Structure 1
Amino acid sequence: MSDVTTRALRLLALLQSRTVWTGPELGAELGVTVRTVRRDIDRLRAMGYPVLTSAGHGGGYQLGAGRELPPLLLGAREAVAVAVGLRLTATSGLEGLDADALRALAALDRILPPEVRSEVSAVAEAMGVVARPLPAARSEVLLALATAVRDGLRVRVDYQRGDGQRFDRRLEPRRVLSIDGHWYLFAWDLEREDWRTFRLDRMHAVHASTFRITPRPTPDIEATVRASITHGAYAQNVTVRLLAPYEEVADQVPPRTATVTPDGDGACILRAGAEADDLHWIALHLCRLGAPIEVIEPPELVTVLQEISARAATAHLAPDAP
């Protein structure tokens, strides 16, 4: 790297470190004349960095806001602070920020020196986000998958099923996404030759390969994952038509419990998954929505709803009630 390039990077770092620098101050830091500082400032401007100049007392050079974010030059302590903050944000379940933080963390982690990366891990392990008691995905798993998605590489995952059995899965990852505070991977399963959804809290390790993923038609990822986690993995499906506007029903249904789709102006379709002995639980939630119900499947749900209605109809005020 030439002396001019090295000096330009050092100048950029100085401009990022505080609001205003005078020409003599920059010259002293760089060990050059004020005239050389002016030439280096012009080089930065030619490369698209918005370096502003202000005259008078308290004036000097300062890095302004441009249309694009210029590369940030961080010291070791600054890199640790940024990386730890991104890890906490990525695992906090903050809607709209967690996925963006994960992508930024993947970009930063790739260039961190080993000693800085180990310090980030040590600090992150000593901290936590107090939130809902959700299954926690390992930060290294999140990072490895986000990097593999970005680079388009196959991965091998040490995965544990709900019954406790562990095995390796060879996957082509397409998207890592957070739904209602939980993290999921949408990927092509090379053994089963089909799209699958995997929970990150069940992954013990992720190993990226050097093999590129194979381009293939991809379904609507978010819709597919929502369907998979709400009813795709259960013994039976529950499908009902609710005679109420989609907007009214969707606001009352958590994304992980069911999917709701419009069915005309005044109705919507709700789909959920259930085990054989869970129909009473689902029926109670359907009653809570307060809309007329048309059962599509399974027929047994009609009997369960009618039983709940009959029991509710026998409710009465106790004789000794105030």
Structure 2
Amino acid sequence: MTTAARLLRLLALLQQRRDWTGAQLAERLGVSGRTIRNDVERLRSLDYPIEATPGAAGGYRLGVGASLPPLLLDDEEAIATAVSLRVAAGAGVAGMAESSLRALAKLERMLPSRLRERVSVVHGATLSLPRSGPVIDTEVLTAVADAIRARETLRFDYRSFDGTPSRRSAEPHRLVHTRGRWYLVAWDTERRDWRMFRADRISPRVPNGARFSVREAPSGGLAEYVERSLGAAVWRYRVAVTVHASAEHVSARLPDWVVVEPVDEASCRIFVGSDNPEMLALWLGMLDADFDFDRAAHPELVDRLAQVADRFHRLARST
């Protein structure tokens, strides 16, 4: 093995795990401890931040440097990275598509032909649907993520679905990317309850507020809360509906993201939403079952259901 090949192999080993003893590295590379020490110095001269701990129990680790060193990937890691970059291009973050595709182009140029062919097969067999969600500014996403990591209360201006502005304060817990949109799951400090905020409607204010302790997740956990909220809460029109049919019957007729809660063997509750009542009326018409909801609280939906029913009735009478 040449010195250059050995240095690359040593760098790859240091990237695989956090700590190595000198003896372990020497055994892996089939060289002496002295050679390892010399090779570490060579890598340091190339600006790789390799940290060393002296003593019999000491060893080496790749530290954090001011610049990004070359990353050595095995075959499966390279394929996973290429596929992930293609997916990231549609993540709905400003500038992410261009950056992801530039990185993908660099990676594909470096791939050996056998791996380039495997990546090409995956890309050729994959259909990416046009993204319809809004684009979020990278600085907003980063500011929210920093607040989550630091456990600092996020202070921000927020726009509701109809453009109404408000000033909010919340303890941020998780960012969620689903259905072409980014959401923030947080504890609203003013309303004293969990909330989901559209991240593209957030404008962070500086500085952040006080630090907070992580709260117990809502019933069922954060993942279930997100699914339940997306079933209705982020839409302009949202309604809880009792359906006189089994949960299995109803689930088979609705998209996976609609939350269906069994009541008993012959009924269930669903939480649905839309930006217009016409779409809600169509969803309910697909249930093939009787249903009830709070009519007084949803007059627009009652009107649309009556209009749809009348339209179908006229069509049926005309045949």
TM-score (norm 1): 0.56
Which residue does 2:245 correspond to in 1? Answer: 243
Report the Cα distance in structure 1 between the residues aligned to 2:230 and 2:189, rounded to whole angstroms. 20
- Secondary structure at the aligned position of 2:36 is classed as helix
Q: 1:201 to 1:210 in 2, by over 3 A?
A: closer
Q: 1:245 to 1:12 in 2, by over 3 A?
A: same
Report the Cα distance in structure 1 between the residues aligned to 2:148 and 2:255, rounded to whole angstroms. 30
Which residue does 1:272 correspond to in 2? Answer: 272
Which residue does 2:255 correspond to in 1? Answer: 253
Does residue 1:29 correspond to 2:29, yes or no?
no
Percent identical residues = 23
Which residue does 1:183 correspond to in 2? Answer: 182
Report the Cα distance in structure 1 between the residues aligned to 2:241 and 2:250, rounded to whole angstroms. 18
Does residue 1:285 correspond to 2:283, yes or no?
yes
Q: 1:263 to 1:48 in 2, by over 3 A?
A: farther
Which among 68, 75, 86 is matched to residue 76 of structure 1? Answer: 68
Report the Cα distance in structure 2 between the residues aligned to 1:206 and 1:91, rounded to whole angstroms. 28
Q: 1:89 to 1:152 in 2, by over 3 A?
A: farther
- Kept in 1, the 8 Å contact 2:14–2:62? The answer is no
Counterparts of residues 139-218 of structure 1 (less than 5 Å): 139-205=138-204, 207=206, 209=208, 211-213=210-212, 218=217
Displacement, 1:167? 4.6
Instruction: Give the total of aligned pairs.
Output: 247
Q: 1:297 to 1:216 in 2, by over 3 A?
A: same
- Kept in 2, the 8 Å contact 1:279–1:304? The answer is no
Which residue does 1:231 correspond to in 2? Answer: 232
Does residue 1:298 correspond to 2:308, yes or no?
no
- 1:25-63 per-residue CA deviation (whole Å, 9 max, x = no partner) reads 53542469xxxxxxx9998995799xxxxxxxxxxxxxx
Report the Cα distance in structure 2 between the residues aligned to 1:45 and 1:306, rounded to whole angstroms. 82
- Kept in 1, the 8 Å contact 2:89–2:98? The answer is no
- Kept in 1, the 8 Å contact 2:185–2:197? The answer is yes
- Secondary structure at the aligned position of 2:146 is classed as helix
Q: 1:72 to 1:245 in 2, by over 3 A?
A: farther
- 1:76-129 per-residue CA deviation (whole Å, 9 max, x = no partner) reads 1547x99x98898667459xxxxxxxxxxxxxxxxxxxxxxxxxx9x8473368
Q: 1:31 to 1:194 in 2, by over 3 A?
A: closer
- Secondary structure at the aligned position of 1:76 is classed as coil
Which among 302, 307, 310 is matched to residue 307 of structure 1? Answer: 310
- Kept in 1, the 8 Å contact 2:247–2:267? The answer is yes
Q: Which moved more, 1:40-49 or 1:302-311?
A: 40-49
- 1:160-190 per-residue CA deviation (whole Å, 9 max, x = no partner) reads 3333344542221122223333221122333
TM-score (norm 2): 0.56
Q: 1:77 to 1:28 in 2, by over 3 A?
A: closer
Q: 1:260 to 1:47 in 2, by over 3 A?
A: farther
Q: Which moved more, 1:226-235 or 1:178-187?
A: 226-235
Report the Cα distance in structure 2 between the residues aligned to 1:44 and 1:288, rounded to whole angstroms. 72
Displacement, 1:241? 0.2
Q: 1:270 to 1:14 in 2, by over 3 A?
A: closer
- Secondary structure at the aligned position of 2:218 is classed as coil
Report the Cα distance in structure 2 between the residues aligned to 1:175 and 1:144, rounded to whole angstroms. 13
Letter in 2 for 1:23: V
Letter in 2 for 1:26: I
Displacement, 1:200? 0.5
Which residue does 1:60 correspond to in 2? Answer: none
- 1:268-317 per-residue CA deviation (whole Å, 9 max, x = no partner) reads 32222357xx444322223334x32222332837645642541452465x
Displacement, 1:199? 0.4
Letter in 1 for 2:160: R
Displacement, 1:211? 1.9
Which residue does 1:136 correspond to in 2? Answer: 135
